[in-house]
Structure 1
Amino acid sequence: MPQFSPTSLHSTRLVRSLAALIDTPSHDSGHQFSRRLGTLIDLGDSVKLANAQSGLKELVFEPGVVDPASIRRDFLAGRAAIINAILQACVPGETASRIRFPTVTATTLEAEATAPDAYSAFYRAQQSEISYAVLRLHTAIRADVAGISSGLQQLAALDGALGAAMGNHLRGYFGAVPALLARHVVTLRSDCLEQLDGKSYQADFWLMQLGKLRADIQNLLLAEVEARLLPLQGLVEALHDGMMD
């Protein structure tokens, strides 16, 4: 079964992107990561995980009708759909996306064009869409993986139990990103005014800065998708070793 080291998990694209956004180093030791991960699981969650693990041998395996190749294709297609939705949403102007990047033109008032809340609200809306899409994909793939072999059925059961235990903590961590993004918007605005060398707000100059901000937001959203999909990716990669018990 594929193994994911704490160090590689901590160096995900999301962690690196956030570190760049707030200008802090992203490195950390595996020991520190493991220690922090342990603090996230309280007594109640530990009991639930222990019960889930102890009940693995009692699971009755029922072969599914989906083959591993189809599962991999469904995973890749689902991931591509999520990514494509983000790319469309981040395109300025009219797009097919229901939630679009804030529209700013040369006539938009300064207070509205540079308001951090508008961009953090867009990010939170995108997070909600991503969370729902990833959960739906994860649930479907987990059920299909469980039908491949008894070993993968047990892995899928543990995946579900761990996901339930970590859900609230992960929502808290992802929920902190919009606030960091708002700080980034404030910094960009300050840099913009500083580069204008004391002159008043100029829409054309801010529009250029906005291109960088849009790229930053898109990169953060794509990195968050990557992080949210890591457990599911592990299930899919386990198909290679889980075919036989």
Structure 2
Amino acid sequence: MNIEGQVALVSGGASGLGEATARHLASLGAQVAILDRDGERAAKVAADINGFSQQCDITDEQAVAAGVTAAKAHFGDAPRIIVNCAGIGVAARIVGREGKVSTPLFRQVLEVNLFGTYNVMTYAAQAMMDLPPLDTGERGVIINTASAAYEDGQIGQAAYAASKGAIAAMSLPAAREFAKMGVRVMTIAPGLFHTPMMEGLPPETVEGIVANIPFPHRLGQPVEYAHLAADIVQNAYLNGTVIRLDGAVRLPPR
């Protein structure tokens, strides 16, 4: 799919991987809508790229539906490009100190990462059904974000790994379901990236993390995620699978 002139919607587009993706797609000529809990930051990014933003909690199904509808109304067409970057990365052991359980956190992480992604994918696909197919037969492409942790989650990442593993597992059945309407579904599984989640860590902790990355021997840059997302949009034969973007890292147990 040619990106220029298409409407794109990025969840979590106010920061990190989502912001980089929103900015990159806009630089390639897309009209970009941002859904994010941080409405103020989302509005700033949207203003920078001449886009559109709406404050949205992706765990709220009706808020997501309203966000997709608002993007369509603003640009006069439903989005053909969806990139799901919204998510949280909180961690806790299944059974912590003094036998404390982490069931509430597990539920919260799945609600945001998994159900939030599912909500956006659902209402985006619904909107795409009414679009005419392009010359390639495509109506749209949905890119979800998993994590390298879906395959090699660390201690304390049971909830996070479960949520990202489920996102990865959705790729093929969703792609098969949407194939009849010309919508592709792909998943990117990033490794260790320089995002707001990393910025709060002490330098020595970051150095320890980087030590496990074979090459390039550094944290990934959000723009590298954005470039891959754009490549997926432009390559019509990419469908129904997961691409790791991780510098060949395999996460150690802790």
TM-score computed with the length of structure 1 as normaliser: 0.28
Higher helix share: 1
TM-score computed with the length of structure 2 as normaliser: 0.27
